[in-house]
Structure 1
Amino acid sequence: MSVQVTFEPTPNPATMKFHLHRQVTAEGFDCANSQEAERSPLAAKIFGFPWTSSVYVGPDFITVTKQDWVDWELLANPLTGLIQEHLDRDEPVVVEFIEMAEDDENDSPMVRNIKSVLNREIRPVVALDGGDIVFHKYQDQVLYVHMKGACSGCPSSSVTLKEGIETRMRELFPEIKEVVAV
């Protein structure tokens, strides 16, 4: 049974979110170039187009970031068709998934709590706009995170980071002085 692929703009005008309407991976991952797309045959196919800047494969969506010299009005429908055809042929979206280290036995209780809040509260909200946020490190009362997918390079990502994520993390963990994207 074929499920219709749909798309919607994200807060980042260079990035479009394509809903696959089925889970394709447990954890999202970035493909900043064609070499990094080897885990996703679909992302590799999208990188076959010269206007592709990056691809993020989410649990049930893909976000594609384009170069500035081409408009979404020309790309969105044909790209939706390409994705739809890929899924209709039952070609794999992800062939291999190396799970990100969520919890490390060496993590401090603070780091475990931070990761838990990121995974439970923050990531699901960020995923609604086609992005992801991943823990990088906590050092000297500063939380470092990776902004991925539509969040990477988005004009409003600094507002999301400071007014949304940082505010929430500091409410829960007053010892956090700042949240920084790496």
Structure 2
Amino acid sequence: MATPSISRSALRAVVRATPSLRPQSTRAASRCLHQRATPISSSPLHQRPRVQQWSPSAPLAGTRQEKRTMFIQTESTPNPDALKFNPNQRVLPDTISSGSLEYLSPRSTLAPPHPSPLAAQLLNIDGVTSVFFGVDYITVTKDSATPWAHVKPEAFAIINEYMVSGQPTVNTVEDRAGEAGQGGTETDSLAYSEDDDEVVGMIKELLETRIRPAIQEDGGDIEFRGFTDGQVLLKLRGACRTCDSSTVTLKNGIESMLMHYIEEVQGVQQIMDEEEEVALKEFAKFEEKLKQQKGPDAVKGTVGKGSLDFVE
């Protein structure tokens, strides 16, 4: 029996008309060459991405870890020898209710009840004479002979490194010998007390609401030491303690306000510690010696520029 023969052209036409008869290899090759697969097609060239579960891994040895940084602002004060540092976070622990501590010597940074490693490092800088801690700021005071260009960079670096480390700025230890190494009190001297009479209560309220915010803005603080014979006894700390215009601030600012609102107040007096009185006496002797050598115009009083008491 003879087998019928089919021409090539007829066979090609039959294959085109019947898709199931096309070779699979030819179809796949044709698709890869002439068609562009979509992202969701089943082509082996384009597959949907698989979601892989993330697993934390330890940092590779030798990789560089980024250091945590802090933005610290510095502010000038009416006292040209005092600079205020604002680290934008709390400086004193919550356990210290007084709201301020002052360190006047390296020995005070080690003495109870509140030794401070940060204050010790700052007082170790050449030219720094005192360190004052407010609730959220630090005031560094230097001597007049040392320029800020030598003090400020080192003080800034120490404060920044200490704040970033997260270590406490102030520690609290038991004071067994009754030695108070820091300037300041355990409790806020302007806090309300049931033992205060009406006049003392009014004085504290005015000092707390009207006077203390302005003094803290200048990098200092104020303590109430008593009310005797019409005289309000106050203690200035921080930048205001050694400021040339502190006496003017007491008389023209604080005294005028207290006498205006409270008729029982007849004046304001500044109380100084024993060390400060000795230093003032020595400075007075030094001024008198200069006057004798160079004349009365050799030493002139100054008022801090930028304060409320400065008038051009």
TM-score normalized by the length of structure 1 = 0.91
Matched, 1:34 2:101: no
- Could you tell me which amino acid in structure 2 is paired with residue 65 of structure 1? T
Q: How does 1:1-182 map to 2 (within 5 A)?
A: 2-25=69-92, 27-38=99-110, 39=114, 40-96=116-172, 98-101=186-189, 102-182=191-271
- Mean alpha-carbon deviation: is it higher for 39-48 or for 146-155? 39-48
Aligned-residue offset at 1:3:
3.0
- Could you tell me which amino acid in structure 2 is paired with residue 138 of structure 1? F
- Could you tell me which amino acid in structure 1 is paired with residue 212 of structure 2? R
Higher relative contact order (CA 8 A, sep 6+): 1
The structure that has the greater radius of gyration is: 2
- Could you tell me which amino acid in structure 2 is paired with residue 122 of structure 1? I
Q: Residues 42-98 of structure 1, C-alpha deviation per residue, up to 9 Å, x if partnerless?
A: 112212224221111011111111122211122112211110001011121222393
Q: Residues 159-182 of structure 1, C-alpha deviation per residue, up to 9 Å, x if partnerless?
A: 211111111111111221111111
SS in structure 1 at match of 2:258? helix
User: Identity, % of aligned pairs?
Assistant: 32
In 1, the alpha carbon distance for the partners of 2:205 and 2:87 equals 27
In 2, the alpha carbon distance for the partners of 1:68 and 1:128 equals 22
Aligned-residue offset at 1:2:
4.2
Contact preservation (8 Å) 1:118, 1:134: no
Aligned-residue offset at 1:34:
2.1
Contact preservation (8 Å) 1:141, 1:176: yes
Q: Runs (4+) of structure 1 moved beyond 4 Å?
A: none
- Could you tell me which amino acid in structure 2 is paired with residue 83 of structure 1? I
- Could you tell me which amino acid in structure 1 is paired with residue 204 of structure 2? K
The count of corresponding residues between Structure 1 and Structure 2 is 182
- Could you tell me which amino acid in structure 1 is paired with residue 203 of structure 2? I
Aligned-residue offset at 1:106:
2.3
TM-score normalized by the length of structure 2 = 0.55
In 1, the alpha carbon distance for the partners of 2:107 and 2:188 equals 19
In 1, the alpha carbon distance for the partners of 2:166 and 2:123 equals 19
Any unmatched runs of 5+ in structure 1?
none
